[in-house]
């Protein structure tokens, strides 16, 4: 095969061999599948080794890229591809295309995958499909890395769909239970609905630019002068795919359900890496969206991406308030944060949005792993915050500490990583004249703090309940009042993680003897540390712009300069965070605390609040709309109608022709069969032979009918021949 | 033209007949002998096929290779002309591979009422017809081979089929006969018209070369009629909506082997006919028909998918999914672009591998559980894990997961249908651009539905706990063996297909490289 | 220029009468309610055909027609009728009920197409039936042809006949 | 004499035969109808034979003879079949035979 382009050769070994990064896990996947079961550790060693190898190469790549950026004025993407297939003028390559964005995600995915795999060795120990679990995780990493490296749309779609497949396999990992397989199917279908847009959008891009190469598409889209409506169509279509993949409104409903999968899966796929694929796609093809959807045009205060992102921020944050399942709180939080990223891209704040991908990955992954740690060790494999948690902070100091750091980062507390990314998004919205989204961002920040405070309070403070009480050593205390929001999901209460043995296997770290084993706590500490410091790569308050320096060549279009950071501008958001914390804490104390507060049971007493609560608990009735109305109507009446048409009308015609008697409609059928034919039969007095059934008269004389059919066809054929020839 | 080894294709095509001849003298009771001879013949044929693969000059795959022409029935101007180019090569080889695999599978799966000798003879005869259709370069020869496959398949369904086999086989036979009658009329009409208009009418014959040279000159209105005749003939075989109703019945009633061959090869005869005959000979009519084909194809995609969702029987569901997948193939063809036709050809092979495989799995499920009712099956992953995984793999391949073969049939077809050939969009002939774009979006929705029914099927049958009915099922009343996992014959028969699905999915250029030059040449008649 | 001999009045009249008889008899074959009547009508058609062959000065074929068809085939038919114990009188169950409804249109459609094609194709092409041609109806020519250029088919036909005879015996044997 | 006289006669007989094949249920009668068709073909063949006779071509006659021979064979086998069926099933109505088991 020919080397299509080889700009990489001069730039360094790692940049030239970046294709190894996804290939190693892909090979590892097959090794695990075929040999994993025979290995002492069930294949997990292959997975971890492969991810470590990938991480090393990814780090090397990142280093060399940074070096390259430092050494040249304007660093172009380094690509190295071989021809994958060729149809006429359309040449599609496969290989690697490294630029800042890709470099960042490569490192991120390899890094987090490694940690999560280490974590999983303990978390799913003894699982009956331990090997499959690691195989799927490894394949997922391969898929994601393939997508990130994609030099063209086809490879991107390849990686994109492999991730979808792995998501399906991992959510449905415990497929014996119906709820899990339902969640897996829902995830796959919902994402697939979005993928429609990806396929169509790619088609439009091909028609517009005659090529599927990402660099070329971006260059041409940046200086686009053709049919703007078509480009807008492409952008919308592609954005639909992003909506599906990144859990944006209105296709976000699959993501919380996806928590049915094991916790490491939730932390890897459904919070830190896979779900940002949609955001990544928007960032990757930013010129297409930028031009197609009129981002940063003076006087435009809205655009599709920002609107969807903004709505997502708010509705998901709203939903996070009523969840009892700790993972669902985090899931909605993820959706909300993804909304921030989209909104950031929508308001032209490319760099902060991408930076938010980076920081969010660490702290959200850490939060999920903390939740897993709590469930694994503290709450007897339950994720129900109200029933089985509470008061765990003393017993699980590492988990608690990392959780707190990550929460602070998520909330955007100053000097934690989230602050530097999220606050930048909010600031840019204001700076780029998207006032509405500035407000949305602020409200979102408030809500984030509030629901995270609630979750933290319920999990780590207060009195230990249920499984946690058992663990903490207190007697189970049923005297505490049932919480005011009674509408917890049935599915939340059970169905997760109760498949492996309830004993803690691994060895805990010596300084925290009751906490989870080291395989769990070490990744937690690493991630917690990063949640604290990752933000300083691009900390505007301190004039650090490393991230910007490394990544800015990936934007592809001119975006407005980020507004100059001023502490004064950050004051509103900081104040709102503080307010969120305070208000939420007060309410939590009142509602979940020991005392007798008038707030308890408020939703039962106040009709309006009750209705609002119910609305939230039912997830705005979106699931009902999808499952009960849309899916069911397709699955039942519509398909049944189509099938009925097939069997009765189309087949009816066929049989009608074939049998000579059965005509299209029932009426005609009855008339001829019962009236005419039977009449003749009755008349001739031989009813007995034909009494067998209504169809008897038509079925008889088959041989003759074939003769009739044959001669008839011949006659018609001859007629056509005559007509054609005359 | 590559004129060497002219005997190669004839050998590859007719070698199975030698096997049939030998088998006629084997006593009926000696089943192992009959099976052995048949399998040996099929393997030998495949060997010839592989030799052909090796000798094929990939640098000139647009040219007919191993070309040979001879007098055949001179009074009616039919010639014995055969040749192979990049379009037919993959299908030619596929037919041989499938035959071998089906025979391996049949080794201990001869369906009721037994009689392995006859069953294997029929398969060999089928192989002759299939291979012959793909190498024929003469309309009459093509027609003869095209019809030759009908008879063995008719008997296969009618004798070895399910409960309703008579109805299904007859419907299949008559329906396709009806189509081919019109097709034959169209062929003859085309011959006569070209002969009447040609400058050298004495040289007229039925070989493709003659039509290549003369048929595009037919007046447009006449050509539209002729194309119509071919359309019906091929569309019944594909089958396209609304001519598809024979398919679910035939598939449901056919024995596993019949279903596999039907899905893998026989359906392709129709699409191959479109690509090989209808489009290049009558480009002027193709312009008019393409939008109609496209609309019917997309209706087929959606309609087939909806049909699937309504099924309660696994095999019938797979059968309906064929309608949807062949819709993608026809959509690709209807774009008249190299990309679309390449996609269609790829889709044909991919569908052959994947759906063939799905039917194999369905057959094995039926053999183990004695039912294919989706409601009654559950927990296959637990009870027969390998079979369950294979089913999942095929379902994923079938719904068009990139990296597996199915994707390369669907995705490029969608890409192509967004920007169809310029002759379909230039305003002089009527601008169909918008139509095609709408169709693209609708057919993209078809991929969602495909995921819907396949995963739904998978969830119901493979996930969950095994249903009580079968959970404790050590032995059933008839003393059959217990519900066992994939056995060795199945592994042998399936592994090549599974590998093929992955390899073609990862390295699509294996096929695109072979087909593309031929397709480029073919579509050159449509302008750019 | 048209000569009287070209018009061939006598032949035309003869043809007309025979043709009419044939057509009527043929219609009886397919409509009669009595199997034996149908068979007898078929004999009439065969005989008429033989007469037409004579008119076309194909004596040898005509004689063969009489010998084989009327002599052998029809006897076979009558045997078949009797051996299958068909009623000698009227039989209501000979036809498919209602089949005429599609049989007749198809037959008429075919007839229409054929007649149209024939009239359009041959317009007023004439044939001479006076037997004056140099080599018309010469049996020697016919035999030359059969045993030279058509020798192989002749052999093949012999085998077909042999196979048919053996087959018929095998099929019809009682044990 | 117009060749069409013979050709049209052939066509008429042919169509009557076709009608018979379609309409008749009794196997013997269907065989008879087939004979009608064969005869009509023969008439055509001989008419064409006459048309080309001047140029020394008498293939038509040869063909007609062959057809007669084949027809005889066909009737022989056909009637034997009918007999066999009748012996086994006591009927030769074709519709009752449509349930042949494979």
Question: Model confidence over A52-67: pLDDT tens digits?
Answer: 999 999 999 888 888 8
**Which chain A residue shows the shortest CA-CA distance from D25?**
A701
- Which among B174, B222, B382 has the least Cβ separation from residue A706? B174
Tell me the nearest-neighbour CA distance from A653 into chain C, angstroms.
16
Q: How far apart are the C-alpha atoms of A510 and A508, rounded to whole Å?
A: 6
On chain D, the residues whose CB falls within 8 A of the CB of C174 are 87
On chain D, the residues whose CB falls within 8 A of the CB of C157 are 66, 69-70
Domain boundaries, chain A: 247-482+514-617, 624-657
Is C89 or A223 the better-scoring residue by pLDDT? A223
Helix (H, G, I), strand (E, B), or coil: what is residue A341?
helix
Domain boundaries, chain D: 3-94
Q: What percent of chain C has pLDDT over 90?
A: 16
Q: Alpha helices of B238-337 — where are they, by DSSP H?
A: 246-253, 256-261, 267-273, 279-281, 283-309, 314-334
Q: How far apart are the C-alpha atoms of B511 and A81, rounded to whole Å?
A: 20
Q: In this complex, do D70 and C160 lie within 8 Å of one another by their Cβ atoms?
A: yes
Q: Are A463 and A455 a contacting pair, CB within 8 Å?
A: no
Q: Are A706 and B174 a contacting pair, CB within 8 Å?
A: yes
Tell me the nearest-neighbour CA distance from B161 into chain D, angstroms.
10
* Residue found by looking up tokens 């294949």 in the block: A43
Instruction: Determine which helix (DSSP H) or strand (DSSP E) holds A379, and give its type and residue range.
Output: none
- Which among B174, B396, B513 has the least Cβ separation from residue A709? B174
> Among the ranges A607-621, C48-62, D54-68, which has the highest mean pLDDT value?
C48-62
- Which among D35, D47, D50 has the least Cβ separation from residue C73? D35
Contacts 24+ apart (CB under 8 A), A513-516: A514/A377, A514/A395, A514/A396, A515/A373, A515/A377, A515/A395, A515/A396, A515/A397, A515/A398, A515/A399, A516/A122, A516/A373, A516/A376, A516/A377, A516/A396, A516/A398, A516/A399
Cα B303 vs. chain centroid, distance in angstroms?
A: 20
Residue B525 belongs to a domain: no
Q: What percent of chain A has pLDDT over 90?
A: 7
Is the peptide bond prior to D38 cis by the omega test (within 30 degrees of 0)?
no
Q: What pLDDT band is residue A489 in, cutting at 50, 70 and 90?
A: very low
Q: What is the pLDDT of residue A271?
A: 84
Is A102 or C95 the better-scoring residue by pLDDT? A102
Q: Are B300 and B332 a contacting pair, CB within 8 Å?
A: no
Q: What is the CATH number of domain D3-94?
A: 1.10.287.3510
Residue B194 belongs to a domain: yes
Of the candidate ranges A372-376, A610-614, B145-149, the one whose mean pLDDT is the lowest:
A610-614
Q: Any chain D CB within 8 A of the CB of B168?
A: no
Q: What is the pLDDT of residue A238?
A: 92
Instruction: Compute CA distances C115 → A516, C105, D4, whole Å.
Output: 96, 15, 9
Q: What is the pLDDT of residue A670?
A: 45
Residue B231: domain span: 7-470+483-519
Q: In this complex, do C118 and D7 lie within 8 Å of one another by their Cβ atoms?
A: yes
Q: Alpha helices of A473-566 — where are they, by DSSP H?
A: 490-493, 518-533, 546-551
Is B290 or A638 the better-scoring residue by pLDDT? B290
User: Is pLDDT of A320 > 80?
Assistant: yes
Q: What is the pLDDT of residue B50?
A: 92
Give chains near D: 3+ CB pairs under 8 A: A, B, C
Q: What is the pLDDT of residue C7?
A: 63
Q: Any chain C CB within 8 A of the CB of A656?
A: no
Q: What is the CATH number of domain C4-128?
A: 1.20.120.1200
Q: Are B301 and B237 a contacting pair, CB within 8 Å?
A: no
User: Is pLDDT of A130 > 50?
Assistant: yes
Of the candidate ranges A263-277, A293-307, B128-142, the one whose mean pLDDT is the lowest:
A293-307
Closest by Cα among B241, B214, B466 to B365: B466
Q: What is the pLDDT of residue B94?
A: 92
Contacts 24+ apart (CB under 8 A), A669-676: A673/A697, A673/A698, A676/C98
pTM beyond cutoff 0.90: no
User: Is pLDDT of C160 > 80?
Assistant: yes
Q: What is the pLDDT of residue A219?
A: 87
On chain A, the residues whose CB falls within 8 A of the CB of C96 are 700-701, 704
Whether B and C touch, i.e. at least 3 CB pairs below 8 A, reads as: no
Instruction: Compute CA distances A410 → A166, A441, A562, A625, B13, whole Å.
Output: 27, 13, 21, 31, 69
* Residue found by looking up tokens 């024979």 in the block: B246
* Residue found by looking up tokens 């590492």 in the block: A398
Mean of per-residue pLDDT scores for chain A: 78
Residue B524 belongs to a domain: no
Q: Are A20 and A28 a contacting pair, CB within 8 Å?
A: no
> Among the ranges A642-656, A706-720, B83-97, which has the highest mean pLDDT value?
B83-97
Q: Any chain D CB within 8 A of the CB of A711?
A: yes
What would the two tokens of residue A428 be? 């840019």
For chain D, positions 49-78, list CB contacts with chain C under 8 A: 49-51, 53-54, 56, 58-59, 61-62, 64-66, 68-77
Q: What pLDDT band is residue A513 in, cutting at 50, 70 and 90?
A: low
Q: What is the pLDDT of residue A690?
A: 36
The number of folded domains in chain B is: 1
Q: Are B354 and B324 a contacting pair, CB within 8 Å?
A: no
Q: What is the pLDDT of residue A680?
A: 42
**Mean pLDDT, residues A449-458 taken together:** 86
- Residue stretches of chain B with pLDDT short of 70: 1-3, 427-429, 471-482, 527-528
Q: What is the pLDDT of residue A570?
A: 78
CA atoms within 13 A on the CB side of B258: 33
Of the candidate ranges A300-314, A569-583, C124-138, the one whose mean pLDDT is the lowest:
C124-138
Helix (H, G, I), strand (E, B), or coil: what is residue B254?
coil
Of the candidate ranges A275-284, A491-500, D3-12, the one whose mean pLDDT is the lowest:
A491-500
Q: What pLDDT band is residue D97 in, cutting at 50, 70 and 90?
A: low
Q: How far apart are the C-alpha atoms of C27 and B344, rounded to whole Å?
A: 54
Q: Are B444 and A199 a contacting pair, CB within 8 Å?
A: yes
Q: What is the pLDDT of residue D94?
A: 64
Q: What is the pLDDT of residue D90?
A: 72
Q: Any chain D CB within 8 A of the CB of A686?
A: no
On chain A, the residues whose CB falls within 8 A of the CB of D98 are 699-703
Phi, psi of B418 (to 5 degrees): -70, -35
């Amino acid at each position: 095969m020919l080397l299509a382009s080889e700009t990489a050769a001069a730039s360094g070994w790692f940049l030239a061999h970046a294709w190894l990064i996804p290939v190693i896990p892909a090979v590892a996947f097959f090794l695990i599948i075929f040999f994993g079961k025979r290995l002492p550790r069930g294949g997990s060693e292959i997975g971890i080794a492969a991810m470590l190898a990938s991480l090393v190469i990814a780090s090397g790549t990142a280093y060399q890229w940074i070096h390259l950026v430092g050494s040249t004025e304007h660093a172009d993407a380094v690509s190295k591809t071989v021809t994958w297939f060729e149809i006429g003028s359309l040449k599609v390559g496969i290989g690697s295309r490294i630029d800042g964005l890709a470099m960042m995600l490569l490192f991120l995915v390899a890094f987090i995958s490694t940690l999560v795999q280490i974590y999983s060795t303990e978390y799913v120990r003894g699982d009956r499909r331990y090997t499959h679990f690691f195989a799927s995780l490894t394949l997922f990493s391969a898929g994601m890395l393939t997508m990130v490296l994609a030099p063209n749309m086809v490879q991107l779609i390849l990686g994109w769909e492999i991730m979808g497949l792995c998501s399906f396999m991992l959510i449905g990992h415990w497929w014996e239970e119906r709820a899990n397989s339902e969640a897996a199917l829902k995830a796959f279908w919902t994402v697939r609905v979005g993928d429609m847009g990806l396929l169509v959008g790619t088609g439009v891009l091909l028609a517009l630019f005659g090529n599927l190469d990402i660099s070329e598409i971006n260059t041409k889209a940046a200086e686009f002068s053709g049919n703007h409506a078509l480009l807008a169509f492409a952008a919308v279509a592609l954005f639909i795919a992003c909506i599906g993949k990144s859990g944006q409104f209105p296709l976000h409903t699959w993501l919380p359900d996806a928590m049915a999968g094991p916790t490491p899966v939730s932390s890897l796929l459904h919070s830190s890496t896979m779900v940002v694929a949609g955001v990544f796609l928007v960032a990757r093809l930013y010129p297409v969206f930028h031009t197609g959807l009129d981002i940063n045009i003076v006087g435009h205060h809205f655009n599709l991406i920002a609107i969807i992102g903004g709505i997502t921020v708010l509705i998901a944050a709203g939903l996070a308030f009523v969840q009892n399942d700790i993972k669902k709180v985090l899931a909605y939080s993820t959706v909300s944060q993804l909304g921030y990223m989209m909104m950031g891209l929508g308001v032209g704040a490319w760099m902060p949005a991408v930076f938010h991908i980076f920081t969010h990955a660490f702290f959200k992954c850490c939060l999920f792993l903390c939740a897993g740690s709590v469930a694994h060790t503290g709450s007897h494999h339950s994720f129900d915050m109200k029933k089985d948690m509470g008061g765990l902070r003393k017993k699980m100091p590492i988990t608690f500490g990392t959780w707190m750091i990550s929460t602070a980062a998520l909330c955007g507390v100053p000097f934690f990583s989230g602050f530097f990314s999220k606050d930048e998004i909010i600031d840019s919205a204001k700076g780029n004249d998207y006032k509405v989204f500035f407000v949305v961002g602020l409200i979102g920040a408030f809500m984030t703090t509030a629901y995270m405070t609630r979750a933290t309070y319920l999990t780590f403070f207060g009195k230990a309940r249920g499984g946690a009480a058992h663990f903490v050593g207190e007697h189970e205390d049923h005297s505490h009042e049932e919480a005011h929001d009674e509408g917890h999901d049935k599915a939340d209460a059970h169905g997760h993680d109760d498949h492996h043995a309830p004993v803690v296997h691994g060895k805990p770290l010596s300084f925290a003897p009751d906490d989870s084993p080291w395989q769990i706590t070490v990744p937690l500490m690493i991630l917690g540390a990063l949640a604290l410091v990752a933000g300083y790569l691009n900390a505007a308050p301190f004039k650090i712009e490393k991230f910007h320096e490394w990544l800015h060549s990936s934007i592809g279009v001119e975006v407005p300069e980020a507004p100059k950071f001023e502490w004064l501008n950050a004051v509103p958001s900081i104040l709102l965070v503080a307010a969120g914390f305070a208000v939420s804490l007060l309410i939590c104390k009142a509602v979940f605390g020991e005392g007798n507060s008038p707030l308890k049971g408020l939703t039962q007493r106040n009709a309006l609040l009750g209705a609002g609560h119910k609305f939230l608990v039912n997830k705005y009735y979106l699931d009902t709309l999808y499952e009960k109305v849309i899916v069911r109507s397709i699955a039942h009446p519509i398909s049944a109608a189509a099938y009925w048409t097939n069997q009765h009308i189309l087949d009816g015609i066929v049989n009608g022709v074939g049998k000579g008697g059965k005509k299209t409609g029932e009426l005609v059928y009855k008339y001829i069969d019962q009236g005419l034919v039977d009449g003749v039969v009755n008349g001739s007095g031989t009813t007995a032979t034909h009494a067998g059934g209504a169809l008897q008269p038509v079925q008889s004389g088959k041989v003759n009918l074939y003769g009739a059919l044959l001669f008839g066809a011949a006659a018609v054929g001859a007629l056509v021949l005559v007509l054609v020839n005359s | 033209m590559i004129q060497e080894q002219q005997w190669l294709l004839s050998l590859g095509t007719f070698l199975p007949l030698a096997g049939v001849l030998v088998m006629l003298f084997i006593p009926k009771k000696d089943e192992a002998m009959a099976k052995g001879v048949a399998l040996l013949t099929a393997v030998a044929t495949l060997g010839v096929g592989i030799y052909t693969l090796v000798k094929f000059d990939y640098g000139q795959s647009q040219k007919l290779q191993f070309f040979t022409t001879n007098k055949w029935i001179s009074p009616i101007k039919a010639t014995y002309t055969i040749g192979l180019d990049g379009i037919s090569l993959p299908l030619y080889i596929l037919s041989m591979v499938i035959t071998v695999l089906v025979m391996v599978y049949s080794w201990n799966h001869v369906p009721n009422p037994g009689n392995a000798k006859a069953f294997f003879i029929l398969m060999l005869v089928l192989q002759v017809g299939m291979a012959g259709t793909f190498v024929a370069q003469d309309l009459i020869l093509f027609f003869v081979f095209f019809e030759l496959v009908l008879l063995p398949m008719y008997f296969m369904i009618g004798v070895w089929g399910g409960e309703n086999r008579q109805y299904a086989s007859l419907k299949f036979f008559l329906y396709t006969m009806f189509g081919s009658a019109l097709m034959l009329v169209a062929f003859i009409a085309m011959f006569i018209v070209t002969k009447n208009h040609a400058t050298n009418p004495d040289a007229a014959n039925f070989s493709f070369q003659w039509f290549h040279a003369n048929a595009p000159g037919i007046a447009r209105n006449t050509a539209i009629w002729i194309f119509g005749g071919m359309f019906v003939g091929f569309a019944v075989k594909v089958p396209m909506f609304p001519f598809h109703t024979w398919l679910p019945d035939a598939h449901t009633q056919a024995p596993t082997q019949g279903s596999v061959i039907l899905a893998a090869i026989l359906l392709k005869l129709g699409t191959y006919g479109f690509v090989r005959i209808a489009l290049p000979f009558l480009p002027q009519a193709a312009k008019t028909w393409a939008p109609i084909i496209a609309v019917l194809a997309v209706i087929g995609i959606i309609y087939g998918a909806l049909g699937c969702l309504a099924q309660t029987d696994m095999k019938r569901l797979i059968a309906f999914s064929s309608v949807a997948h062949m819709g993608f193939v026809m959509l690709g063809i209807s774009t008249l672009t190299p990309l679309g036709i390449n996609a269609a050809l790829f889709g044909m092979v991919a569908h052959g591998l994947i759906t063939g495989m799905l039917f194999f799995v369905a057959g094995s499920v039926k053999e183990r559980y004695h039912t294919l009712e989706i409601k009654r099956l559950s927990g296959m992953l637990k009870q027969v894990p390998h079979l369950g995984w294979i089913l999942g793999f095929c379902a994923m391949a079938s719904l068009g997961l990139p990296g597996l073969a199915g994707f390369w049939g669907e995705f490029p077809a969608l890409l192509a249908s967004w920007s169809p050939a310029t002759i379909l969009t230039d305003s002089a002939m009527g601008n169909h651009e918008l139509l095609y774009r709408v169709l693209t979006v609708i057919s993209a929705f078809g991929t969602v539905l495909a995921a819907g029914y396949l995963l739904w099927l998978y969830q119901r049958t493979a996930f969950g706990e095994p249903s009580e009915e079968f959970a404790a099922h050590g032995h059933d009343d008839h003393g059959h063996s217990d519900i066992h996992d994939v056995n060795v014959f199945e592994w042998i028969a399936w592994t090549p297909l599974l590998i093929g699905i992955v390899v073609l999915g990862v390295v699509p250029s294996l096929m695109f490289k072979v087909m593309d030059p031929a397709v480029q040449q073919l579509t050159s008649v449509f302008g750019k | 220029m048209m000569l009287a001999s070209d018009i061939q009045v006598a032949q035309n009249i003869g043809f007309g009468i025979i043709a009419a008889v044939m057509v009527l008899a043929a219609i009886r074959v397919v409509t009669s309610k009595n199997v034996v009547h149908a068979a007898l009508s078929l004999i009439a058609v065969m005989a008429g055909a033989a007469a037409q062959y004579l008119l076309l000065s194909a004596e040898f074929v005509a004689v063969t027609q009489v010998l084989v068809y009327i002599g052998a085939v029809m006897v076979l038919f009558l045997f078949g009728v009797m051996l299958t114990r068909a009623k000698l009188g009227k039989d209501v169950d000979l036809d498919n009920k209602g089949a005429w409804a599609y049989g007749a249109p198809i037959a008429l459609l075919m007839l229409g197409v054929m007649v149209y094609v024939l009239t359009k194709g041959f317009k007023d092409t004439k044939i001479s039936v006076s037997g004056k041609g140099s080599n018309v109806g010469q049996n020697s020519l016919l035999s030359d042809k059969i045993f030279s250029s058509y020798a192989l088919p002749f052999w093949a036909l012999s085998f077909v006949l042999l196979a048919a005879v053996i087959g018929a015996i095998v099929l019809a044997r009682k044990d | 004499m117009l060749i069409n006289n013979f050709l049209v006669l052939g066509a008429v007989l042919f169509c009557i035969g076709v009608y018979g094949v379609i309409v008749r249920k009794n196997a013997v009668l269907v065989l008879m109808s087939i004979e009608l068709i064969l005869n009509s073909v023969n008439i055509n063949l001989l008419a064409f034979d006459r048309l080309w006779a001047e140029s020394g071509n008498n293939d038509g006659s040869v063909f007609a003879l062959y057809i007669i021979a084949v027809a005889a064979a066909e009737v022989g086998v056909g009637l034997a079949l009918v007999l066999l069926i009748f012996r086994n099933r006591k009927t030769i109505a074709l519709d009752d035979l449509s349930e042949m088991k494979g």
